[in-house]
Chains A and B, each alone.
Chain A
Amino acid sequence: MAVLSAVTVIEVGAGPANAFCGKLLADAGARVIKIEPPDGDPARFDGPRGRLEDPERSPFFLNLNAGKQSVTLDIETPAGIEVLRRLAARADVLLESLAPGTLEARGLAYDALRDANPGLLLASITPYGQTGPYRDYVATDITLFASSGAMYREGLPDREPLRYGGHMPRTYPGNLAAGFIVAALFRRRATGRGDWLDLAEMDAWAAHPNQISRRLQTEYSGQVEAREDTKTAATTAAAGFGRGTYRCLDGFVTFLPLGDRHWPRLVEFVEDPTLFEDPRFATREARRDHRTDWEEIYEAYVGSHTVAEIFTAAQRAGIPSGPLNDARRLLADPQLAERHFFRETTHPGAGALRHTGPVAKSLGVDDVWADLAPAPSLGAHTREVLERDLDLPAGDVEALARSTAAPTPNIER
């Protein structure tokens, strides 16, 4: 049995952070019950090409919620709040992203939840956390990324800073929270007690290694980060030669040679040993002074070969490098195929799909990961959860199910 098979998670609230966290928990076998509003979680209508009509075909929703159950509930009504309270009283984790103060306003403050279920872990992931001067701020991926400290340096110095792709600004905090949640579950074996995890998405990014390194450099020696055009910024001999993204015949490859000490590897890579005798490149200082000449040689070599040739050659020379893959290349990638990185589901609306994951391979004797089930249709488990988990009589379930009405299409919220 997968390692979290005995764990029940109630996931409530919109946004990628808690949904991604719930996804990780579901992959390890937790029963993740996703509470959706009667119209459906907003992710069902969020597409990479535009707004979606069909709530069962969103790649974003299908990805984030594979393996979960769906219960529709209007948690702004007394009946809905009561159902949520009863679910929390029997669950191991309440994973929520509601606006701070919402649970408390509805009689579900942490103290009350804990009194009813001392072993409950309340995990709250919100853009700015449960405390502090920004707790009531609202966010989307781009605005959260602006606060993160990671956005400023993205892009060219004379243009607007760029957002990161996909929903990564908000899924990364969910990735962090999963570890903290399982740590608390592990401790509960000894103490019997739950806890309240309060994670701010902005804080998660502010504590990312890129940001904390940058910040302590400033603290120690006063340097401040500058936005730079990586192609033309070469101010020290240690700055990268052949560092950055370069065009090949059929795509791009990114290189990160580790400073001047990798010079011999770069010469080997471009297959021109005469460069060792070339006075333009004889010393570290000379290499820095003739950087433009070097860049021309490098670009010409890379530009006359394919991505596959360049990636292989760079790796043979010991240069950290990677192709710029897109989804199509990844789905055909030989390394991922060898590692069996993709899992198949068949979804009633969307059909057969290959999903990423699990997120690591378990090589030990115990089962860690569960088989992947497709993402749930809206409200597919409402009756099952209300009858089985809450021991409610069938008549009450009918009344509750009717009050959490069937979804109405294309509601603009």
Chain B
Amino acid sequence: MPERSPDRVTDPTTEPQPLPLAGIRVVEIAEIWAGPVMGAMLGDLGADVVKVEAIQRSARGAVRPLPGSPGYPNGEIGDDPWNRSAAFNAINRNKRDVTLDLHTPRGQALLDALLAHADIVFTNLSVDAQESLNLLPERLHRANPRLIVVLLTGFGMTGPYRYYRSMGMTLDGASGHSVLRGYPDLDLSTLTPVHHPDGISAATGLYCAMLGLEARAQSGHGQIFDLAQLEAAMFHLGEYLLDEQLEGVPAPRLGNDHPWMAPHGCFPAIEDDTWVAVAVDTAARWQSLARTIGREDLLDRPELATIEGRHAARDQLNAAVAAWVRGRDRFEAERTLQAAGVPAAAVLRPDVDHLAHAQIREREVVVDADFHGLGTFAYPHGPWRLVDSAPLAFAPAPRLGEHNREILGGLLGLTDAEIATLEADQIIGTRPLETADAPVAVRRH
């Protein structure tokens, strides 16, 4: 086991422990989903996460959205829509916020000063953006050689695609996930765009950052992780690559069918556009299901006594389940089947259903809060529990540049006059410039 001093073993019947990352400081230079979610979880775990933004670039929605645009509290864009955006506020809990114009020498110098106080720095900006903002790992380690650096890019820091642009949806296809989805009778152009890779990247980035802390604790050295989001997403599909090597032909696309479970599918319930997923993987569950849906007759059929036999008859078995589900409310169907020990679940919408769902509320996946006086809403909370720890952090997403004074003055020691000059020169600020919406020109490679 790792070396630890017996003197430090504390009495487990005493206080909850401090959160795992209490005392750790993180610098986040990240936009949209993958990076910022990683930052939010680092904050959940107790780190002081300092998000570095810029008034020159809007990553919080339109600077001047049309009045009545969706995604603002009670439909009001207000005087500072960048501080009122659902898209930003949902993702960026538990952070402090500074703005720095990293295209200027002073902005770069302030970043150096901030990094000297940090343990972890991470970015999900593209390789292009890292180069143009001088954020490559060598520079980061010059500022502080003990930093844990985590770089989340679409395709990686190296290779022929390193400058290629990606989003979660396009990585879903590139990583091999898309071809495994969809109705078997329709072609792949009908696929719904999905953004699951972003969650994988955030989770993997967190994992790398934690490994980095462990490695540094052992060696004293800083660390650098080059995380290609393509690779992190592929890591969940390794079995298909092994299967391809073993069989030589691709596995078939099945929709909601399963290679061997039956019945298996997603069935309409009594109310329009409500559904219940049901799956049977064992003999015991098959017997229980048949009895529950009033089809004991099926248990007398010898050809249905094996997994192979049930799979061959899956259309018929699915039809039997469908007929039963069709007459029921989705939650009643779910409850009844679960009471019989059969895997079943109502398809839940992530908004109206989750907000009303006992699991989400009791497990504190959302918690009601009035952040920044915007009104009381259900905000996302870290969804896991550490029983012997202080509660996970739950603080609002920051306003733009909200902590400029606190960090530049309090942590980095700048005077009020110096801070005022930086504001006047637009190195820092709390309101995005009118030009902050303009798209960045494409750099050709």
Q: Which of B99-107, B197-205, B411-419 has 4 or more CB atoms under 8 Å from chain A?
A: B197-205
Say whether A245 faces chain B, with CB atoms less than 8 Å apart.
Answer: yes
Query: Of A80-88, A274-282, A315-323, which stretch is located at the interface?
Result: A315-323
Check if A3 sits within 8 Å of B218, measured CB to CB: yes
Given A51-B259, A177-B384, 15 more contacts at CB 8 Å? A49-B251, A142-B279, A180-B20, A207-B383, A212-B380, A215-B355, A215-B378, A219-B379, A224-B351, A315-B163, A321-B165, A327-B237, A339-B158, A364-B215, A364-B224
Q: Within 8 Å of chain B (Cβ to Cβ): is A223?
A: yes
For A245, give its contact among B34, B173, B218, B247 (CB under 8 Å): B173
Interface hits, B326-344 → A, CB 8 Å: 338, 341-344
Kindly list chain B residues whose C-beta atoms are within 8 Å of the C-beta of A331.
Answer: 241, 244-245
Q: Are B176 and A207 in contact (CB under 8 A)?
A: no
CB atoms of B225 and A338 under 8 A apart? no
A137-B345 contact, Cβ under 8 Å, with A62-B242, A200-B383, A362-B225: yes
Do B241 and A193 touch (CB < 8 A)?
no
The verdict on A241 contacting chain B, using a C-beta distance below 8 Å, is no
Question: Smallest distance from the beta carbon of B299 to chain A beta carbons, Å?
Answer: 15
- Which secondary structure characterizes the binding site on chain A? mixed
The answer to the question of B277 belonging to the interface, with a C-beta cut-off of 8 Å to chain A, is yes
Contact of B351 among A51, A140, A179, A217 (CB under 8 A): A217
* Contact residues in B for A194 (Cβ distance below 8 Å): 388
Residues of A within 8 A of B260 (CB): 46-47, 50-51
A407 at the interface (CB under 8 A from B): no
Q: Ordered nearest first, which 8 A-B pairs have the shortest CB separation?
A: A165-B180, A149-B350, A318-B442, A322-B174, A322-B170, A179-B206, A182-B210, A327-B244
B37 at the A/B interface (Cβ < 8 Å)?
Answer: yes
A325-B385 CB under 8 A given contacts A118-B9, A172-B200: no
Cβ–Cβ contact A321 & B242, under 8 A: no
Question: Number of contact residues on B: which range applies?
Answer: 35 or more
Shortest distance between the CB of A154 and any CB in chain B (Å): 5
- Beta-carbon contacts under 8 Å, B262-314 to A: 264-268, 273, 275-279, 281-284, 306-308, 311
User: Are A225 and B351 interface neighbours, CB within 8 A?
Assistant: yes
Q: List residues 151-186 of chain A with CB under 8 A from any CB of chain B.
A: 151-157, 159-168, 171-172, 175-180, 182-186
B279 x A143 contact (CB < 8 A): yes
**Would you call B442 and A317 a contact (CB within 8 A)?**
yes
Q: Is the interface of B mostly helix, strand, loop or mixed?
A: mixed
Q: What residues of chain A lie closer than 8 Å to B429, measured between beta carbons?
A: none
The 0/1 profile, CB within 8 Å of A marked 1, for residues 119-152 of chain B is: 0000000000000000001000000000000100
Q: Which has the most chain A C-beta neighbours within 10 Å: B34, B70, B189?
A: B189
Which of B34, B190, B261, B342 has most chain A Cβ within 10 Å?
B190
Interface membership of chain A positions 302-335, coded 1 if the CB is closer than 8 angstroms to chain B and 0 otherwise: 0000000000000111111111111110110011
Interface-lining segment among B108-116, B227-235, B402-410? B227-235
Please name all residues of chain A whose beta carbon is closer than 8 Å to the beta carbon of B353 when the two chains form the complex.
149
Mark the stretch among A32-40, A250-258, A397-405 that contacts chain B.
A250-258
Q: Mark B61-84, 1 if CB is under 8 A from A, else 0.
A: 000000000111111000000000
Determine which of A133, A192, A224, A356 lies in contact with B352 in the assembled complex, contact meaning CB atoms within 8 Å.
A224
Interface pair A63/B242, CB less than 8 Å apart: yes
Task: Please judge, given known A-B contacts A212-B91, A220-B377, A330-B241, whether A359 and B173 are in contact too, CB under 8 Å.
Answer: no
